[in-house]
Amino acid sequence: MKKSTNNVKRINNYAPMMIPPIMTFPVVGVTLPKDQTFLCTKNTCSVILDQLEPRTSGSYRCEISGDAPEFKLISETGNMTIAALPRHDPIITGVNHSYEDGDFLLANCTSDMSSPPAMLSWYINDEKAPPEYLQPLRETTMESDGFQLRFRSLELRFHVDKARHAIVRNSMRLKCLARVEQIPAATRESSIVVYITSQDDLTNQKLINYWTNSGHRKFTATPHLYVSLALLVCLMLATR
């Protein structure tokens, strides 16, 4: 098997008629387990790679050739990319618990570190946020174990509009999606629900608070009250 980047480098060689039949060759970024048992037959040969790192990425080619005098050669090539995937869901910050209709809402989403970096998207009630709601993407880079790890932040800004944002039951769901390109299984997401109130809702709430705080109590009829009212009615009829 050979690894191909700028130049082709041989990783191992299997020749059943040679002693030893299997030979390995040092290649930067390619580590074979010390106790590896090669599963090689006259038809197949398997290789296990260990301690994967960014330099392990590249094209790998398997070549099969025949014995003399024909030396027929066939080969197949496959590409491998080593990625450091995000371990945690994105973090949403800056969001209040509730807003009034027409308020300005600001939310920030930050992805976990990864290589390649995650692509961030905002959704409002499962509808993708329009581009005019989004601020320029910010990115921070740090190095770890040979990887250039990056995390990104995407800010969402807009005025709450109950009609436009299809707000149902006075709640709105904000979702941030962090997707690593070409690796769907690495997709992560976070969401938060905020409550939206209108002016009518606030007026009704103020009336309820006023009624409660002013000492008014709900009128509740009791059996004793019913008896007292009945006696009062009888007295009024008797005096006529």
Task: Quote the pLDDT of residue 226.
Answer: 45
Q: How many domains does the chain have?
A: 2
CATH of the domain at 144: 2.60.40.10
Task: Quote the pLDDT of residue 11.
Answer: 83
Task: Quote the pLDDT of residue 142.
Answer: 93
Task: Quote the pLDDT of residue 206.
Answer: 47
For residue 110, being part of any structural domain is answered with: yes
| pTM, to two decimals | 0.67
φ/ψ of residue 127, rounded to 5: -105, 130
Whether residue 112 sits in one domain with residue 54: no
Whether residue 191 sits in one domain with residue 111: yes
Task: Quote the pLDDT of residue 77.
Answer: 86
Structural domain of 158 = 91-199
Domain end residue (candidates: 20, 47, 80): 80
Tokens of 239: 């005096």
Tokens of 175: 């979702």
Whether residue 189 sits in one domain with residue 131: yes
- Compute and round to an integer the Cα radius of gyration of the chain: 35
Task: Quote the pLDDT of residue 233.
Answer: 44
For residue 220, being part of any structural domain is answered with: no
For residue 1, being part of any structural domain is answered with: no
The tens-digit pLDDT sequence of the chain (240 residues) is 666 655 678 888 888 777 887 888 888 888 888 777 677 777 778 888 888 888 888 888 888 877 665 566 778 888 888 899 999 999 999 999 999 999 999 999 999 999 999 999 999 999 999 999 999 999 999 998 888 999 999 999 999 998 888 777 889 999 999 999 888 999 999 999 999 987 665 555 444 444 455 554 444 445 554 444 444 444 555 555
For residue 71, being part of any structural domain is answered with: yes
Q: How far apart are the two ends of the chain, measured CA to CA in Å? A: 117
Task: Quote the pLDDT of residue 213.
Answer: 58
Domain end residue (candidates: 80, 107, 134): 80
For residue 64, being part of any structural domain is answered with: yes
Beta strands per DSSP E along the chain:
2-4, 8-10, 12-14, 22-24, 39-40, 45-46, 58-65, 73-80, 91-93, 98-100, 104-110, 119-124, 127-128, 138-144, 147-159, 171-179, 188-197
Whether residue 45 sits in one domain with residue 143: no
Q: Which residue has the tokens 């990104």?
A: 152
For residue 172, being part of any structural domain is answered with: yes
Query: HSE (CB half, 13 Å, CA atoms) of 171?
Result: 6
Whether residue 115 sits in one domain with residue 76: no
Whether residue 183 sits in one domain with residue 98: yes
Tokens of 219: 């009128």
Residue 149 DSSP code: E
Whether residue 41 sits in one domain with residue 107: no
Is there a contact between 37 and 22 (Cβ–Cβ < 8 Å)?
Answer: no
For residue 23, being part of any structural domain is answered with: yes
Domain end residue (candidates: 80, 112, 141): 80
